[in-house]
Structure 1
Amino acid sequence: MFDDLHGELRVGAGDGAAGREPFCVVATAGTVMSGAIDPIGPIADLCEREGLWLHVDGAYGGLFVLADRRRAALDACRRADSIALDPHKLLFAPLEAGCLLVRDRTRLARAYAFKSAYLTVEEDPLMVDYMDYGPQLSRGFKALKVWSALQAFGVGAYRTVVDHLLRLADHLGQRVEADPNLELMAPVTLTAVCFRMKGATEAEHTAALATLAGEGTALLGPALLDGRHGLRACVTNYRTGLADIDAVADRVGELARQLRRTSGAGAARPV
């Protein structure tokens, strides 16, 4: 859809010739796997220039804007026409808690609102009837748990916790870089840390995950980036501390050293 010409985004010239008319761009404010953030500012520039709707997928990463240390990378999210957020992540709300924010809610109403004789809700300027803003008619008050938590703890508490989680992820990244048997698979931008044991195969990484979970050290997940397999730690629990991060780094480093000893000091193998 887009050409990158001299560092500037523009709509692909071949789209019109092929009968395709772009109408929306979806930018990502933190991919789930590695936390990578799209250049949202330049993408917003393109959307304004071309008259395109900009939607930002901030389900995982959007709420990191609460932290000073990541705000610059996410500040351009304010220019989006719509943004998706998951309060069950960084606002720690119970499942399910998804959220769509829109700049102009009348556009949603034009898409979804309808009149019917059996719906007798009277017009009330103080009432927002969410049946007019999505496909669901009967629905519970899912936002109550998010609103209640914000009222009880305040935004400041969430800022503190998000900053704490980012510092822990940065610390894990530093521990990985300092271990000669481990390597980062991607820069640590948010709280997802993807790393691998040098020379390890996919099966060996899978076995390491099982070992960590089985012995109660940590519940990590698999990582697959650019065809390379590894481990993914995502720090999203406000109870996690530096000691927990160090325990993970120490144990994975130990597993990596054991692996290199048993495989002939890291002989080359497919990964």
Structure 2
Amino acid sequence: MASACLGKQLEELNLLQCSLMPGETLLFVSTAADDTPWPDLLAAYSDSGPPTENSEDITSPACFKLRVDRASVWFEVQLPPGYSTSADHSGAEYTLPHVLVRGDGLSRNEHERWQAVVRDKMNEVHGSEDEQSALAEAAAELPSTRHHALLTSHHLISPAKRRSLQQWSSQLQITGFAKVGYPGVIYCEGAQEQVEQFVANIKAMQWLALRVRFVESAPPPSGEPHGTRGRWKEFDKVGEVVEEMRRLGRERFVVEMGIGSAGTK
């Protein structure tokens, strides 16, 4: 399996795992005697990021169950070796995951009804992604305004979430920071479409008391020049957040939200 393909699959599995609500479970299923240790790969991805070598040794597809406590119906999903979320630049055909409905005592009619629901929903997602791609291509031809966003949560501790924030900031070419611990604070700035996608990615994960404080046009820079602002950072203290925003000329955006104070050092 190509490294890029494996990395994309692990990225989606990590996002799915982080999005599970209480009572929901993702459980990998063995499909062959030489089955790939997908739980270990996902754990390593959460800690260290995408794999850099030996991806060609991975031959068994990812297969897992999605279950909800006390529900008699569940889904079994298999990602084909060439699975990707969209067609590549060569025009390769969109590869969909295989989704099967399982259940205790599920009749033939009920099974067919559930499978029809799955097919309809997958077609909806596929169609919406094609539409989004077309809109993105059209938007790319227009100058993009810079936006910024501020989010807070009860806490930000999970290594998987912190790793995802770093990866998304790189992929979407945005700058910003995360304040880890209690409370969690996330700030980002970049092209409007990229900031909105970054916020959407965050909202798709499971959080305690996540609040999107704002997503809006960024004011003209009044602090350090944009080119000197660096990429993604992490802070441990609220005072560091205020100091960083002061350095960027954006201090009021956190102080007015009750994060720190103008005199914080």
Q: Report the TM-score, using the length of structure 2 for normalisation.
A: 0.30
Larger gyration radius, structure 1 or structure 2:
1
Q: Report the TM-score, using the length of structure 1 for normalisation.
A: 0.30
